[in-house]
Amino acid sequence: RSKRRGRGQITVYSREIAQEMKRATQLEQALRNAIISDAIDVHFQPIVSLSNNQVVGFEALARWNDPDLGFVSPGVFVPLAEERGFIDALSEALLRKAAEAALSWPRELFLSFNLSSAQLMDPGTSGSVLSILGRVGFDPHRLELEITETAVMSSADTAHRIIADLRAAGVRISLDDFGTGQSSLGRLRDFIFDKIKIDRAFVSRINSDRASEHIIKAILTMCDGLELEVVAEGIEDYAEAVKLRTLGCGMGQGYHFGRPADGIATLRFLHENYYDPAMAERASA
């Protein structure tokens, strides 16, 4: 009897595994098609100066809405693209689209773009990024690349060379999701970053948890000494924004200031929210 149950279980498991594998294959096939047909879009989320709420740049975020699968999170398809070797094609298409869209923004604003860890292991990445910018006509000084600590550590020499080449061309580097995962303060001693982005995990608890407030204070003090700019990620309400500004955090990003939106909605957002000093000067002349 127990033998039969045992065999039954094996059947059930293998059927589940088979279904799981089928889903994974479908997702992979759909992703491959989406990349080939250029169906993955890029949205933009504002990053603001906390001292005056003025937008200073936008982060590009990949968006895929598949006709069959529906909305698939970049948290799912970006790792899959890395695993299956599609990340270069995907990332190049996204950077091109993002930079093209950013050409219509006031030129004081920067574009922040996420690089995946696989790209930091590939020595061709710096050349590919700069050639895309060249073709689009987007100034490298207006580009920031967001990377995570895990990505820098996984292939340290190659990653450092890529970062050095990009910085030499004027691209700025931010450390994304700071405070999570395999964080190591030692990385900051390498001076390869221009900016750090404090992870939402701390920001969302800043007014309810003393520990998070102390951690953010310490990060701000440290970044001040190291001359690193700071962005707080995932600011969802007014109280969080006020608290971070009071603590001296320079920049913020989150639903409170604006959700990721497509290129056209982003232009509308700028039209409604951006105070352009050059335009104001022309108007008063």
Q: What are the φ/ψ torsions at residue 22 (nearest 5 degrees)?
A: -65, -45
CB of 86 to ligand C2E, least distance (A): 12
Question: 111 forms bridges with which residues in the sheet?
Answer: 58, 143
Whole-angstrom Cα distance, residue 63 to residue 94? Answer: 10
Q: Does 114 bind Mg ion (CB under 5 A)?
A: yes
- The first and second tokens of residue 85, run together, are 């070797």
Quick note: the x/- pattern for ligand C2E over 211-230, rule CB under 6 A, is --------------------
- Taking residue 24's Cβ as centre, other Cβ atoms within 10 Å add up to 12
- Taking residue 247's Cβ as centre, other Cβ atoms within 10 Å add up to 17
Secondary structure (DSSP) of 6-17: HHHHHHHHHHHH
> How do 70-72 and 195-198 pair as beta strands?
unpaired
Q: Based on CB atoms, which residue is closest to Mg ion, 58 or 269? A: 58
Q: Does 177 bind ligand C2E (CB under 6 A)?
A: yes
Task: From 31-39, 49-57, 124-132, 231-239, give the range in contact with ligand C2E by CB under 6 A.
Answer: 231-239
**Residue that is written with structure tokens 């701000």 in the block:** 220
Biggest distance spanned by C-alpha atoms of the chain = 92
CB of 1 to Mg ion, least distance (A): 50
Q: Does 94 bind ligand C2E (CB under 6 A)?
A: yes
Q: Does 177 bind Mg ion (CB under 5 A)?
A: yes
Q: Which does 62 bind (CB under 5 to 8 A by kind): ligand C2E, Mg ion, none?
A: ligand C2E
- The first and second tokens of residue 252, run together, are 């913020």
CB of 231 to Mg ion, least distance (A): 9
Q: Does 93 bind ligand C2E (CB under 6 A)?
A: no
Q: Does 179 bind ligand C2E (CB under 6 A)?
A: no
Residue 249 · residue 232 · CB < 8 Å: yes
Whole-angstrom Cα distance, residue 196 to residue 23? Answer: 37
Tell me which residues in 131-160 interact with ligand C2E (CB under 6 A): 146
Q: Based on CB atoms, which residue is closest to ligand C2E, 30 or 120? A: 120
Task: From 15-23, 64-72, 110-118, 164-172, give the range in contact with ligand C2E by CB under 6 A.
Answer: 110-118
Whole-angstrom Cα distance, residue 200 to residue 40? Answer: 25
Q: Does 61 bind ligand C2E (CB under 6 A)?
A: yes
DSSP-derived secondary structure letter, 137: T
- Residues at the site binding Mg ion, with contacts judged by CB under 5 A: 114, 146, 176-177, 233
The contact set with ligand C2E (CB under 6 A) reads 45, 60-62, 73-75, 78, 91, 94, 114-116, 146, 176-177, 200, 234-236, 254-255, 260
